[in-house]
Amino acid sequence: MSTVWNGVANGARRRIHMQEVGTRDGLQVEAAFVATEAKIALVNALSESGLAKIEVTAFVSPQAIPALRDAEIVMREITRQSGVVYTALVPNVRGAERAIEAGTDELNLVMSVSETHNLANLRMTREQSFAALSQVAALAVAAGVGVNISLSCSFGCPMEGEVPEATVLGWAQRFVEQIGVGGVTLCDTTGMAFPGQVEALTRGFRARWPDTELTLHFHNTRGMGLANVLAAIDAGADRFDASLGGIGGCPYAPGATGNVCSEEIVHALDVMGYDTGVDLAQLIAAAQRLPGLIGHDIPSQIVKAGRRLDLHPVPADFAATRARALARDR
Ligand code: COA
Ligand code: ZN
């Protein structure tokens, strides 16, 4: 049997950067408040697994997202690993001041490319968001902190439907060319993306801004998460958000479900020959902690089923079965 290694090109494994969003996108919708110490311990465990970036928390209004009201303490008290970028979601100037003060490496700005979703989620028009985020970016630059913009609903809006590619790329252009952000994340906030669309938007973005760090952020709402990751890789993407255990979802997106699951994506990319740099066993061990922290089961198929080559014991009656089968040949 010949093995097809999708992840190997010209004899080298292709590098895919994995970014963990479980402690932000994941925990923001959980009813149970995960204790600050447990959050810090979880980030510390994730830090050692080889992830490129960790979205530690969100500096948002504690009334809007009570689950992350301890953002400062978590950001300050985690143990930093060199090589890992510690980012946090920031919606406004107040959030930027808090995040910079707490020592965040990168501010992940957020707005929606859908007017309706932006108003529902952030209570601002898109133009108001852009004006506010311009100020946020200026603060970050002055503080020597990186800036990424996450564009929600880049693959469709649950309230407006299709969002034209020109609209998505138009907002990306304003952030890249007017504000000078270092990275853009195209977010499939509610799992509306499908592979052909992902491929087209990824190619469109890559062709226009080859030097801008591009991240794809998928939710598995309709079971297309991994298919979308693979389509994006084919179109030139090499950086993905994913959440431990597959937890997460936007509180203002009806029927929202978890992000693509970190250990499922790493497992799939590993078996295909890509180099994620992530120690899958450590990631699985971290995911196994989650049910105890959030008080319910997690979607992760890998935590349920184990890895592809995790071997299982033979049935108890195996020796007798084999003896009977072999006896038929005598
Ligand atoms: N950090 C802490 N507190 C903040 C804050 C921030 N970044 N931004 C606003 N606040 C506080 C204000 O001080 C004010 O507090 P007060 O009522 O005690 O005076 C209160 O929140 C309301 O402030 P206001 O500026 O009127 O904001 P708003 O009510 O219009 O809310 C957002 C706007 C963006 C701050 C809020 O909707 C939010 O944080 N949303 C987060 C949404 C999110 O994270 N969604 C999931 C990720 S996509
Ligand atoms: Zn998300």
Whether 1 has a pLDDT exceeding 50, the answer reads no
- Position 2 in a domain: no
Q: Domain containing 86: what range?
A: 12-327
pLDDT for 287: 97
User: Residue 302 contacts by C-beta under 8 Å, 6 or more apart in sequence?
Assistant: 261, 263, 264, 267, 284, 287
pLDDT for 21: 97
Q: Using CA positions, which residue lies closest to atom 5 of ligand 1? A: 61
Q: Looking at residues 201-224, what average pLDDT do you find?
A: 97
pTM for the model stands at 0.94
pLDDT for 5: 73
- Position 7 in a domain: no
- Position 292 in a domain: yes
Contact by Cβ (8 Å): 243, 260? yes
Task: Answer yes or no: is the C-beta of 91 below 6 A from any ligand 1 atom.
Answer: yes
Q: How far apart are CA 201 and CA 195, in angstroms?
A: 10
Task: Please state, for a pLDDT cut of 70, what percent of the chain lies above it.
Answer: 96
Query: Domain with 45 in it: what CATH number?
Result: 3.20.20.70
- Position 119 in a domain: yes
Q: Looking at residues 274-293, what average pLDDT do you find?
A: 97
- Position 151 in a domain: yes
Task: Answer yes or no: is the C-beta of 226 below 6 A from any ligand 1 atom.
Answer: no
- Position 3 in a domain: no
261 is catalytic: no
Ligand 1 atom closest to the CA of 91, numbered from 1: 34
Tell me, in angstroms, the distance from the centre of ligand 1 to residue 68's CA: 12
Say how many C-beta atoms besides its own lie within 10 A of residue 238's C-beta.
17
Q: How far apart are CA 160 and CA 81, in angstroms?
A: 41
Structure tokens at 301: 């198929």
Q: Looking at residues 119-148, what average pLDDT do you find?
A: 95
N-terminal to C-terminal alpha carbon distance within the chain: 32
User: Please, what is the average pLDDT of the chain?
Assistant: 94
Residues 45-73: tens digit of each pLDDT? 999 999 999 999 999 999 999 999 999 99
Q: Which amino acid is at 67?
A: A
Q: Looking at residues 122-142, what average pLDDT do you find?
A: 95
One-letter-per-residue 3-state SS of the chain: CCCCCCCEECCEECECEEEECHHHHHHHHCCCCCCHHHHHHHHHHHHCCCCCEEEEEECCCCCCCHHHCCHHHHHHHCCCCCCCEEEEEECCHHHHHHHHHCCCCEEEEEEECCHHHHHHHHCCCHHHHHHHHHHHHHHHHHHCCEEEEEEECCCCECCCECCCHHHHHHHHHHHHHHHCCCEEEEEECCCCCCHHHHHHHHHHHHHHCCCCEEEEEEECCCCCHHHHHHHHHHCCCCEEEEEHHHCCCCCCCCCCCCECEHHHHHHHHHHCCCECCCCHHHHHHHHHHHHHHHCCCCCCHHHHHCCCCCCCCCCCCHHHHHHHHHHCCC
Catalytic residue among 153, 157, 250, 261: 250
- Position 238 in a domain: yes
- Position 209 in a domain: yes
Q: Looking at residues 156-172, what average pLDDT do you find?
A: 97
pLDDT for 251: 53
Ligand 1 atom closest to the CA of 94, numbered from 1: 7
pLDDT for 253: 54
Whether 87 has a pLDDT exceeding 90, the answer reads yes
Residues 223-241: tens digit of each pLDDT? 999 999 999 999 999 999 9
Domain count, the chain: 1
pLDDT for 282: 97
Contact by Cβ (8 Å): 244, 284? no
pLDDT for 121: 87
Residues 3-49: tens digit of each pLDDT? 567 888 878 899 999 999 999 999 998 888 999 999 999 999 999 99
Q: Looking at residues 163-190, what average pLDDT do you find?
A: 97
